Amino acid sequence: MAETINEVKFSDEAMAEIQRYISHYPEGRQKSAILPILHIAQAEFGGWVSPEVMDKVAEILNIQPIEVYEVATFYTMFNLKPVGKHVLEVCRTGPCCLRGADQIIDLIKQKLGIEEGETTADGMFTLKPVECLASCGSGPMLQVREKFYENLDSEEKLDEFLEKMRQSEVEKPHHLK
Amino acid sequence: MGLKILTEHINVPGIETLEVYRKHGGYRSVEKALKTMSPDEVVEEVKTSGLRGRGGAGFPTGMKWSFLAKPEGVPRYLVCNADESEPGTFKDRWFMEKNPHALIEGMITSSYALGANTSYIYIRGELLFVLRILEKAIAEAYAAGLLGKNILGSGYDLDLHVAPGGGAYICGEETALLESLEGKRGNPRNKPPFPAVKGLFACPTVVNNVETISSVPWIVNNGGAEYAKVGIGRSTGTKLISASGNINNPGVYEIELGVPVEEFIYSDEYLGGIWKGKQLKAVVPGGSSVPILPANLILKTAAGEDRLMTYESLADGGFVSGSMMGSGAFIVFDEDQCIVRNTWNYARFYHHESCGQCSPCREGTGWMEKVLHRIEYGHGHQQDIDLLVSVAKQIEGNTICPLGDAAAWPVAAAIRHFRDEFEWHIRHPKEATAPGAVYRGQLDTVTA
C-alpha cells in the first residue's frame, strides 16, 4: 500500500453526523448515505471535495472509490476543484431571467473581473451560475453555502450584498454549530 | 377567498413548532387514521377524494396507492419527492420551510395507509436549510410519540428520515430519485418494473410529491367526498400555484381548482396584473416543460371559452392550442420579453440536466441549445426553424424518462406560437440583436 499523501480526517462532529445518516438505511445499504456525506465533506474541507476526500468517503462507506467519483461528478453541487471563500451560485434559469438575472450575472462578472467558473485573485469569490433554485418568485437570486439571497434586482442591492460578503466569515458547517 | 386546505394556518407565528401546530388541529389525522381506520379505509378515502399527483403528472393518487404490491415479509416504502427543480416551481420549498409538520403528518398518515414502516423525504440538495427545518420537526414528532415504535399506542411503527440530493433536476423523475436515494447517479430506470412492484432497495415503493402527501390529512379528517366537492370535474381540491415572472405579486397561491386564468392574473387577490403597467405577452402555466401559450390562448381556449385553472381546461386544445397544469408553476411574460431568448434558456437548462443515458436526449438537447443560441445571437440559418422542429420530434417519446419530452415540448410550442419571432431573428439579425430589441410584429416591415 502506498503511503497516504494527505491525511484526511473528519472532525468528531462530522463523523457523528455521518454515522447518523448511515443509520437511516437498512443493513448493507450504507452507500445510500453518500450524498449527505459528500455535503458534510464539502462543508468541512473548504467548500470542495478532493480525490483524497472522496477516497476517505469510500473507505467510510466500505465501497470502491470509483463509486464515489461517479456520484460526485454527476451532481452539480460538488466542487471538484478548489473554490473561493464565497461561492456565488447565481440562478441563470428562465424565471429569474424574466426579472433581470442575466444583467446581474453580467454585473457580477464586471465587478469581480471574473468569468463563469473563475475565482477572484484574492480568493474571495467564485462565480458559479446554476440552474433553477426554487426561488422563482424572488429572483434574481443566488445561494452561498446554505443561504439564499433574494430579490437582487438592482446594482445597489448587488453592491450591498458583495460588500456584506467581503466582511463575512464562511458560515460554519452545520455539524459544527 | 377560496377554501384553504393546505395553507389555512401557514402564517400563524410558530406554526413550525409541534406545540403551535397541534394547537391548530395538527396531527388529528394521525389519531383518527391509526386509531379508528384500517389502512385500506384510508386508501379508499384518498381514492374518493380524486386527489391527483401534484408534482406534475396529475395521476390519481388513490389509484397509484392501490397498485402497490404487498408480498408477504417484504418491506414497503413511501418516498416523498421534495426534489422540486422544475423551473418556475417553488411551492414545495415554501410550504416545507413554513409548515414542516404538515408534511410530516401527511407522511405518517400516508405511510400507515401503505403499510410502510420506514419512509424517506428526498429533498433537493440546494435546500439543506429546509432539510434542517424538517429534521428539527421530525425530532419533535419522535419525542411526542408521533414517530417511532407504537405510535400513539396504536401498535404501528414508523421511522421517517430526510435525504438530500446533490443538484440534479433529473432526480425529480421517480426512478432517478430512487437511484439517487440508493447512493447512485440519478439515471432513470427502465419501466417496467414500476416502483410499485420494485422500487427502493428493490422493494414495493410509492413516490409522491410534497403537496400531494400534505393534502392527505385534510382528506382523512374531512372525508374524501368533502374534498371532491372542491374544484371542477376531475380537478378536485386545491392546488398550490408558484407564480413568477413579470407580475405585480409573485409568490405561492393556494387556489380552488377552477379559478379563471384571467382572474388569476389580473385580480389583486392573486397576481395583481402585469408589472409596470405592461401588456401580457405569454404564459407558461405549468413549469418550464409545458407548452408556452400566447396571451390570447392562455385567457381563452381556441373555442373562445374562458380558460380555467384546472387540469382539463389548461390542456384544452391539446398541444395545438393548449398546455398543461404540470407542477402549477405559472410563469408570466410581459410584452418586452424575447421568446427566442427564453426558449434558448430552457434548452440550455435541459441540455445541462440531461443524464446522458439516452442518445436522443443527450445529443438532441445539445443540438437544440446550439441552434437556438445561434438564432438568438444573430447567426441563425433559414432552415434552423425546421431543424429545431425535427430534432424536437425525434427526441419526443424516444427516451427512457420524460426529460426528453420536457426538453422538446417548450421548443416545439415556442415555434408553433411565435414562429414570426424566430423568423425575425434569422432574417433581421442586426435589428434582433440590438440592445433591448424585442419583436413586436415587425417581421415584414423591416428590410434587411
Domain ranges of chain B: 18-227, 232-331, 339-432
Give the whole-angstrom CA distance, residue A17 versus residue A25. 14
When pLDDT is averaged across residues A141-169 and rounded to a whole number, the result is 97
Query: Measured on CA atoms in the order A145, A149, A154, A159, is the torsion positive or negative?
Result: negative
Question: Which cell is B24 given?
Answer: 391548530
CATH class of the region B232-331: alpha beta
**Residue range B18-227 in CATH 3.40.50.11540:** yes
Nearest to B245 by CA among B115, B339, B140, B326: B339
Residues of chain A in contact with residue B331, where contact means CB-CB under 8 angstroms, are 94-95, 98, 136
Question: Which cell is B189 given?
Answer: 430506470
Nearest to A42 by CA among A6, A5, A75: A75
Within 10 Å of residue B163's Cβ, how many Cβ atoms?
24
The 8-class DSSP code of residue B307 comes to P
Fold equal for B232-331 and B339-432: no
Share of chain B above pLDDT 90, in %: 97
Q: How many secondary structure helices (H) and strands (E) does chain B include? A: 19, 11
When pLDDT is averaged across residues B140-169 and rounded to a whole number, the result is 98
Q: Measured between CB atoms, does B272 come within 8 Å of chain A?
A: no
Q: What angle do CA B301, B303, B305 make, to 5 degrees?
A: 60
Closest CA–CA distance from residue A167 to any residue of chain B (Å): 22
**pTM of this prediction?**
0.97
pLDDT score at B207: 98
Residues of chain B in contact with residue A135, where contact means CB-CB under 8 angstroms, are 90, 93
Supply the DSSP string of B149-198, one letter for each residue: SSGGGSS--BEEEEEE--S-GGGGSHHHHHHHHTTS--PPPPSSSPTTTS
pLDDT tens, position by position, B393-403: 999 999 999 99
Q: What angle do CA B52, B3, B299 make, to 5 degrees?
A: 70
Scanning every residue of chain A, which has its alpha carbon at the shortest distance from the alpha carbon of B120?
Answer: A24
Asked if omega into B217 is within 30° of 0 (cis), the reply is no
pLDDT tens, position by position, B331-340: 999 999 999 9
Give the whole-angstrom CA distance, residue A175 versus residue A40. 8
Query: Please, which residues have CB within 8 angstroms of residue B243's CB and are 6 or more apart in sequence?
Result: A137, B249, B250, B251, B252, B253, B270, B271, B330, B332
Supply the DSSP string of B31-57, one letter for each residue: HHHHHH--HHHHHHHHHHHT-B-TTTT
Cβ-contact B216, B46 below 8 angstroms: yes
Query: CB A76 to CB B168 under 8 A?
Result: yes
Query: CB A131 to CB B169 under 8 A?
Result: yes
Sorting pLDDT into bands at 50, 70 and 90, what band is A7?
Answer: confident
Query: CB B90 to CB A137 under 8 A?
Result: yes
pLDDT score at A177: 87
3-state SS, residue B93: helix
Query: Please, which residues have CB within 8 angstroms of residue A97's CB and are 6 or more apart in sequence?
Result: A139, B341, B342, B345
The phi and psi torsions of B119 (rounded to 5 degrees) equal -135, 155
Residue B237 above 50 pLDDT? Answer: yes
Residue A93 above 80 pLDDT? Answer: yes
Query: CB A29 to CB B329 under 8 A?
Result: no
**How do B238-245 and B235-236 pair as beta strands?**
unpaired
> B339-432: which CATH number, 3.40.50.1820, 2.60.120.430, 3.30.200.20, 1.20.1440.230?
1.20.1440.230
Of the candidates B89, B186, B349, which has its C-beta nearest A131's C-beta? Answer: B349
pLDDT score at B445: 57
pLDDT score at B427: 95
pLDDT score at A5: 54
Question: Domains of chain A (ranges plus CATH)?
Answer: 12-74 (1.10.10), 86-167 (3.40.30.10)
Q: Measured between CB atoms, does B342 come within 8 Å of chain A?
A: yes
Cβ-contact B354, B407 below 8 angstroms: yes
CA distances from B51 to A173, B4, B96, B231, B238 (A): 40, 15, 20, 11, 9
Cell 371559452 appears where? B305
pLDDT score at B448: 41
Sheet hosting strand B251-256, strand order edge to edge: B251-256, B238-245, B329-334, B280-284, B293-294
Residues of chain A in contact with residue B352, where contact means CB-CB under 8 angstroms, are 131
Nearest to B114 by CA among B226, B11, B196: B196
Nearest to B410 by CA among B356, B355, B346: B346
Give the whole-angstrom CA distance, residue B305 versus residue B299. 9
Residue B433 above 70 pLDDT? Answer: yes
Cβ-contact A133, A89 below 8 angstroms: yes
Cβ-contact B165, A35 below 8 angstroms: yes
Annotated binding residue A97: no
Give the whole-angstrom CA distance, residue B110 versus residue B112. 5
When pLDDT is averaged across residues A145-174 and rounded to a whole number, the result is 96
pLDDT tens, position by position, A12-41: 999 999 999 999 999 999 999 999 999 999
When pLDDT is averaged across residues B13-41 and rounded to a whole number, the result is 98
Mean pLDDT of chain B, nearest integer: 97
Nearest to B289 by CA among A17, A132, A175: A132
pLDDT score at B444: 63
Give the whole-angstrom CA distance, residue B21 versus residue B101. 7
Strands (E), chain A: 86-90, 125-127, 142-144, 147-149
Cβ-contact A132, B87 below 8 angstroms: yes
H-run or E-run covering B283: strand B280-284
Residues of chain A in contact with residue B180, where contact means CB-CB under 8 angstroms, are 35
Tell me the one-letter amino acid at B264: F
Question: Which cell is A37 given?
Answer: 456525506
pLDDT score at B248: 98
When pLDDT is averaged across residues B51-79 and rounded to a whole number, the result is 96
Residues of chain B in contact with residue A33, where contact means CB-CB under 8 angstroms, are 183
